[in-house]
Amino acid sequence: MSVQSIAAEDSGSEGEPRINDFSLKFANVNGTGSASANNLILRAIFRMGVPVSGKNLFPSNIQGLPTWYEIRVSGRGHTSRAQRYDLMVAMNGQTYAEDIGQLAPGGYVLYDSTWPLPATLLRDDVNFLGVPLAKLCGDAFSGPRERILMKNIAYAGAVSYLIGIDPQVLAELLEESYSGNQALRDSNQMALRLGYDYAEENLPAALPFRLEAGTGTAGKILIDGNTATALGCLYAGATVAAWYPITPATSVAENFRKLCERYRRRKVTLADGTVETRNDFVILQAEDELAALGMVIGASWAGARAFTSTSGPGISLMNELLGLAYYTEIPAVVINVQRTGPSTGMPTRVQQADLLECAYASHGDTKHILLLPADPRECFEFAVQAFDLAERFQTPVMMLSDLDIGMNDWAVDRFSWDDGYRPDRGRVLTDADIQKLGHFYRYGDEDSEFVTPRTIPGLSEQGAYFTRGSGHDRYGLYTEEADAYAQVVERLAKKVEASAAHLPEPVIRMQDGATVGVITMGSCEGAVLEALEALFSEGTPLDYMRVRGFPFDAGVRAFIDGHERCIVVEQNRDAQLRSLLILEAGVDGRRLGSILSYGGLPISAVQVIEGARRAIHQTGEQ
């Protein structure tokens, strides 16, 4: 287990400008190209060596509705959402009132002063900074679409002046992004200069918060969870992916395709001397999610490493075949990038509400191995582990990411890789093994972890067997006899329980004097750790555990037993992690409180702090 201390950090002297500690919010209209400008600012801050995180809050339509992008600059490395903002870049007239209302007192609004703001929107405790962006771009560029796009880059220029982004860093980023298109690079450089120069000449020279170049991002990369997941699948040796498009998981398969086109192609010289490019991979867009999983199961049964990526609605459709893979003991890897449900729900909002569905997916008695990453680095690492676990235990393994992890850029430690890694294929018999056996029975001869040997099609006929989802005995033969059926399903339960020893251990951090523990999972980590720092500074120490896998290992129960009470923080309505702890770890539910966030926005430290105070107060009254 990873056990560390949590210490409060110095907040700095009162009255001094805040260095590398502020939040920005960009209010835009979806489909206007603002993402490029917002991401440019995020990457520039990161390139200056300052820890930063970004969260994209966008609608599920293609164009026209409001969209927001939040950037949090935190020298301490905090990544959870800020709930009040220091600078609002207000580019959407439809949401002016809402956006201005979210500013902290003394905050700043940057708006397009080509048109005046209505007097009803003005706040006495907020500073308004006008830049005539539409006029500047209207004079400098010709086409209407180009003017809209360059207006975004122009406000990026103004923002960069206000917060202290090094102009040379921005120039380098634009050069890297548009090195193959000089005209586009030049127009972006011009727009950036328009905004920067106007701000330099007309806006305040110093705000009460600013950037200062540092080394806080040394050894780190900016990457989103879906890209990291695809990279993990590649490194794990996956050669087959089957998928059906769904937000927010689509880019897992898309990135895997791009990686395979770069790294899984080879040149072959034919007999006539011609050279042909061949793909050592298969990627299939299925007609639906159920079909996609069926393709994965077939490929895995045939010996390939195969996966599918989906979200909650896809898991609902896959339930039947998840049960088939569990009962027939065929490896399968499923990447679930969770979103808000139920039904269609809110496709571009985040929840952690698929936990129970995935743990027990399918009808009948089933239980599945789950991996619960907290950031893109763990997405990369756990994707590799998912394939090893699936083949070692011959069963479906699901990795539960979420929209916040999957679609937002995170600053994480640079990935490392062991070149000595060899895939764990589990108990796969060779021709020689089969010949020695004399008789091969698919569901007999279990090992100490209740795993039986399997064969790959195309080897010795002695290794052939009939794969059936109907009742079968340890020999793989059809049965309706109670004891023979029970013998198989009881072994399956023991096998999944045995996997707990091979899952990522929980992350545990202890504080002196703590009697209450906080338990969480996945992307809640940033908000919870920040909240614990704040509560510690108030004199309230709390211990911390982040669960990273299911079934739970003994350390999870030991952590709970070591505290008078624990508070479970999760992003769903029905306290699913708490329920799973009660069901599977044998915990008395009266010892587990809850902090729940399920409105679709990433959880914030403020929510955790307020919830923890309430829970601790209730504990004191008991």
User: Does 519 lie in the same domain as 450?
Assistant: no
Give me the mean pLDDT over the 247-259 stretch.
98
Q: Is 6 part of any domain? A: no
What is the band of 619 on the pLDDT scale with cuts at 50, 70, 90? low
What is the predicted pLDDT for the residue at 620? 56
Give me the mean pLDDT over the 268-286 stretch.
95
pLDDT digits (tens, 9 = 90+) for 592-615: 999 999 999 999 999 999 999 999
Q: What percent of the chain has pLDDT over 90?
A: 88
User: Does 559 lie in the same domain as 468?
Assistant: no
Rounded to 5°, the CA angle 235-241-245 comes to 120
Pairwise CA distance, residues 329 & 115, whole Å = 65
Pairwise CA distance, residues 361 & 354, whole Å = 10
Total residues belonging to the chain: 622
| Domain extent at residue 453 | 431-501
User: Does 442 lie in the same domain as 314?
Assistant: no
Pairwise CA distance, residues 415 & 235, whole Å = 12
> Rounded mean pLDDT of the chain?
94
Last residue of a domain, one of 501, 530, 550: 501
User: Does 164 lie in the same domain as 60?
Assistant: yes
Q: Is 150 part of any domain? A: yes
Q: Inform me whether the pLDDT recorded for 561 exceeds 60.
A: yes
What is the predicted pLDDT for the residue at 59? 86
Contact 358, 368 (CB under 8 A): yes
What is the predicted pLDDT for the residue at 11? 42
Q: Inform me whether the pLDDT recorded for 622 exceeds 70.
A: no
User: Does 247 lie in the same domain as 156?
Assistant: no
Contact 291, 414 (CB under 8 A): no
Pairwise CA distance, residues 483 & 468, whole Å = 18
The CATH number linked to 301 is 3.40.50.970
Give me the mean pLDDT over the 556-566 stretch.
96
User: Does 228 lie in the same domain as 205?
Assistant: no
pLDDT digits (tens, 9 = 90+) for 35-85: 999 999 999 999 999 999 999 998 887 667 899 999 999 999 999 998 789
From the DSSP assignment, how many helices (H) and strands (E) are in the chain? 19, 25
pLDDT digits (tens, 9 = 90+) for 415-461: 999 999 999 999 999 999 988 888 899 999 999 999 999 999 988 88
Q: Is 458 part of any domain? A: yes
pLDDT digits (tens, 9 = 90+) for 372-427: 999 999 999 999 999 999 999 999 999 999 999 999 999 999 999 999 999 999 99
Across 514-590, the runs of DSSP E, i.e. the strands, are: 516-521, 543-547, 549-550, 565-570
What is the predicted pLDDT for the residue at 4? 37
Give the 3-state secondary structure of residue 606: helix
Q: Is 8 part of any domain? A: no
Number of domains comprising the chain = 4
Give the 3-state secondary structure of residue 612: helix
Q: Is 216 part of any domain? A: no
What is the predicted pLDDT for the residue at 250? 97
pTM for the predicted model, two decimal places: 0.95
Q: Inform me whether the pLDDT recorded for 10 exceeds 90.
A: no
User: Does 149 lie in the same domain as 34?
Assistant: yes
Residues contacting residue 420 through CB under 8 Å, at least 6 positions apart: none
Backbone angles phi, psi at 240, to 5 degrees: -130, 130
Pairwise CA distance, residues 534 & 609, whole Å = 8
User: Does 511 lie in the same domain as 573?
Assistant: yes
Q: Inform me whether the pLDDT recorded for 8 exceeds 60.
A: no
What is the predicted pLDDT for the residue at 356? 98
pLDDT digits (tens, 9 = 90+) for 162-210: 999 998 999 999 999 998 899 999 999 999 999 999 999 999 988 999 9
Pairwise CA distance, residues 532 & 5, whole Å = 11
What is the band of 6 on the pLDDT scale with cuts at 50, 70, 90? very low
The CATH number linked to 553 is 3.40.50.920
Q: Inform me whether the pLDDT recorded for 9 exceeds 70.
A: no
CA dihedral of residues 124, 129, 131, 133 (deg, nearest 10) = -80
The CATH number linked to 133 is 3.40.920.10
User: Does 514 lie in the same domain as 490?
Assistant: no
What is the predicted pLDDT for the residue at 61? 74
Q: Is 164 part of any domain? A: yes
Contact 131, 179 (CB under 8 A): no
pLDDT digits (tens, 9 = 90+) for 106-152: 999 999 999 999 999 999 999 999 999 999 999 999 989 999 999 99
Contact 492, 449 (CB under 8 A): no
User: Does 496 lie in the same domain as 516?
Assistant: no
> In DSSP terms, which residues pair with 333 in a beta bridge?
307, 397
CA atoms within 13 A on the CB side of 165: 30
CA atoms within 13 A on the CB side of 565: 15
Q: Is 422 part of any domain? A: no
Pairwise CA distance, residues 384 & 231, whole Å = 9
pLDDT digits (tens, 9 = 90+) for 505-557: 999 999 999 999 999 999 999 999 999 999 999 999 999 999 999 999 999 99
Q: How would you label 41-79 residue by residue, b for 16+ Cβ within 10 Å and e otherwise?
A: bbbbbbbbbbbbbbbbbbbeeeeeebbbbbbbbbbebbb
Last residue of a domain, one of 467, 485, 501: 501
User: Does 497 lie in the same domain as 548?
Assistant: no
Q: Is 145 part of any domain? A: yes
pLDDT digits (tens, 9 = 90+) for 327-352: 999 999 999 999 999 999 999 999 99
CA atoms within 13 A on the CB side of 50: 26
User: Does 328 lie in the same domain as 454?
Assistant: no
Last residue of a domain, one of 149, 184, 210: 210
- The one-letter code for the residue type at 118 is P
Contact 75, 51 (CB under 8 A): yes
Q: Inform me whether the pLDDT recorded for 214 exceeds 90.
A: yes
Closest CA to 390 of 424, 357, 421: 424
